[in-house]
Amino acid sequence: MGGTAGFKRRAAHEGAAWTVQVRVTRGISVLPTRGALVKLQQVSDNCFAVLNEKNRMCDANSGLINLGGGVVIDTQADLAHARRMIELFGKVWPGMPRRVVNTHEDGDHVWGNQLFEGAEIIAHRTVPDRMRHVADPGDARKMIKGADHLLSRLLLKAVHPGALAVARQLQQDYSFDGIEPAYPTTLFDERHVLDLEGTEVHLIYVGPCHQVGDTIVHLPRERVLFAGDVIFRQCAPTGWTGTYQKWIEALDLIIWLDPDVIVPGHGPVCGIEGAMEMKAYLDYVREESKRYFDRGLPSLEASKRIDLGPYGSWRCADRVYTNVERAYREFCHEPVDAPWDTAKTFDAVYRVAKAKGIEIEF
């Protein structure tokens, strides 16, 4: 990795009419991980990001606050990616970090936890229990094995083409072998503040918006915010257990905090325009969903018909289905924690892609 240099950078971030003063690495380290690409990027004096550039399912980002013994934010979706992340951050840190923050309970943010032996793992109070429900690596292994065996593959293809396609996609970049869940050890309710050599790190609970445990990590002095999956950048978001209202409130809070740099849970680094764009997407999808809901169309049909407009060029644009389905659940006053049938959900995403003639991506 090359040295660092401070320079005025037009907010990397298309369309922004303002500039921010940040320090960015001149050279960017890129390492191959199976088929995927990960890179290290410095985002402020003491903050770094490891970014997964493919930007599909499981391609989550990680953060590093290189102060006070080090804090890693989110630990990747499998051990190979976690090791690459450690290798990349290892170029700038003095030793393995003492703390890990999990921004929420999804596997792609917690499945490298076990490599941070002895570290304090911090998350919202709901996260350990939710991990047991939604981040069982055994389920992910089973899904991939199903795609490996001829008989189950044929069955899957006939019954759940979407589930088969997801398994195939994940197989390209990920292996869930060897993952042993390591649960958060320090739990908080609304807020948790770390003091790292005089630099405050604010962990703020904003869930349930995309998931139950959603937490954002804000460093006012560095003007940096790690958004977890409250922000997906240049790829369609997927929301599971949470509400549109909470999600939009969380985005409003990020805009109000006014950081110079945001590291999203998925996609490239951005400024607050990343939060604004996410909000515009959610507003648009909810409004469009309501039009079709009022006409009595099922959520899958609505998803096929919605004009994706500028969002059609995002990766995984077919994931619009999950957002339409969530809007429908809210219109029907279903409980926020109504379960998802994942195989059915992936099938619906697959059918939306087919209907729209766009790439099938999850």
Residue 320 binds Zn ion (CB under 5 A): no
Residue 316 binds Zn ion (CB under 5 A): no
In the bound state with Zn ion, the residue whose beta carbon lies nearer, of 265 and 268, is 265
Options 7-15, 184-192, 258-266, 295-303: segment touching Zn ion (CB under 5 A)? 258-266
Give residue for tokens 């088929």.
Answer: 35
* Min separation Cβ 230 and Zn ion, Å: 10
Residue 60 binds Zn ion (CB under 5 A): yes
Options 158-166, 223-231, 302-310, 348-356: segment touching Zn ion (CB under 5 A)? 223-231
Options 30-38, 55-63, 75-83, 216-224: segment touching Zn ion (CB under 5 A)? 55-63
Strand-pair partners of 4:
25
Beta strands 99-101 and 71-73, pairing class: parallel
* Min separation Cβ 227 and Zn ion, Å: 11
**Between 137-148 and 161-173, two packed helices, what is the crossing angle to 10 degrees?**
100
Residue 108 binds Zn ion (CB under 5 A): yes
Dihedral sign computed on CA atoms, order 66, 54, 78, 102: positive
Measured CA to CA, the distance from residue 163 to residue 262 in angstroms comes to: 32
In the bound state with Zn ion, the residue whose beta carbon lies nearer, of 78 and 106, is 106
Residue 59 binds Zn ion (CB under 5 A): no
* Min separation Cβ 104 and Zn ion, Å: 8
**Which residues, 6 or more positions from 129, have their beta carbon under 8 angstroms from its beta carbon?**
none
Residue 229 binds Zn ion (CB under 5 A): yes
Interface with Zn ion (CB under 5 A), residue total 5
Q: Which candidate, 42, 91, 94, places its Cα nearest to that of 68?
A: 94
* Min separation Cβ 109 and Zn ion, Å: 6
Site string for Zn ion, 2-41 (x = CB under 5 A): ----------------------------------------
Measured CA to CA, the distance from residue 23 to residue 29 in angstroms comes to: 16
CA of residue 101 relative to chain centroid, distance: 14
Give residue for tokens 């515009």.
Answer: 280
In the bound state with Zn ion, the residue whose beta carbon lies nearer, of 82 and 300, is 82
Whether the CB-CB separation of 207 and 242 falls below 8 Å is answered with: yes
Q: How far is CA 132 from CA 105, 120, 164, in A?
A: 9, 19, 24
In the bound state with Zn ion, the residue whose beta carbon lies nearer, of 60 and 164, is 60
* Min separation Cβ 133 and Zn ion, Å: 16
Options 29-37, 78-86, 260-268, 285-293: segment touching Zn ion (CB under 5 A)? 260-268
* Min separation Cβ 8 and Zn ion, Å: 32
Options 21-29, 69-77, 99-107, 171-179: segment touching Zn ion (CB under 5 A)? 99-107
* Min separation Cβ 264 and Zn ion, Å: 10
Residue 214 binds Zn ion (CB under 5 A): no
* Min separation Cβ 59 and Zn ion, Å: 8
**Between 272-294 and 320-331, two packed helices, what is the crossing angle to 10 degrees?**
60
* Min separation Cβ 242 and Zn ion, Å: 13
Please give the order of strands across the beta sheet that includes 71-73: 29-33, 36-42, 47-52, 62-65, 71-73, 99-101, 120-124, 186-188
**Which residues, 6 or more positions from 341, have their beta carbon under 8 angstroms from its beta carbon?**
none
Whether the CB-CB separation of 333 and 254 falls below 8 Å is answered with: no
Options 23-31, 83-91, 213-221, 229-237: segment touching Zn ion (CB under 5 A)? 229-237
Beta strands 62-65 and 71-73, pairing class: antiparallel
Q: Which residues bind Zn ion (CB under 5 A)?
A: 60, 106, 108, 229, 265
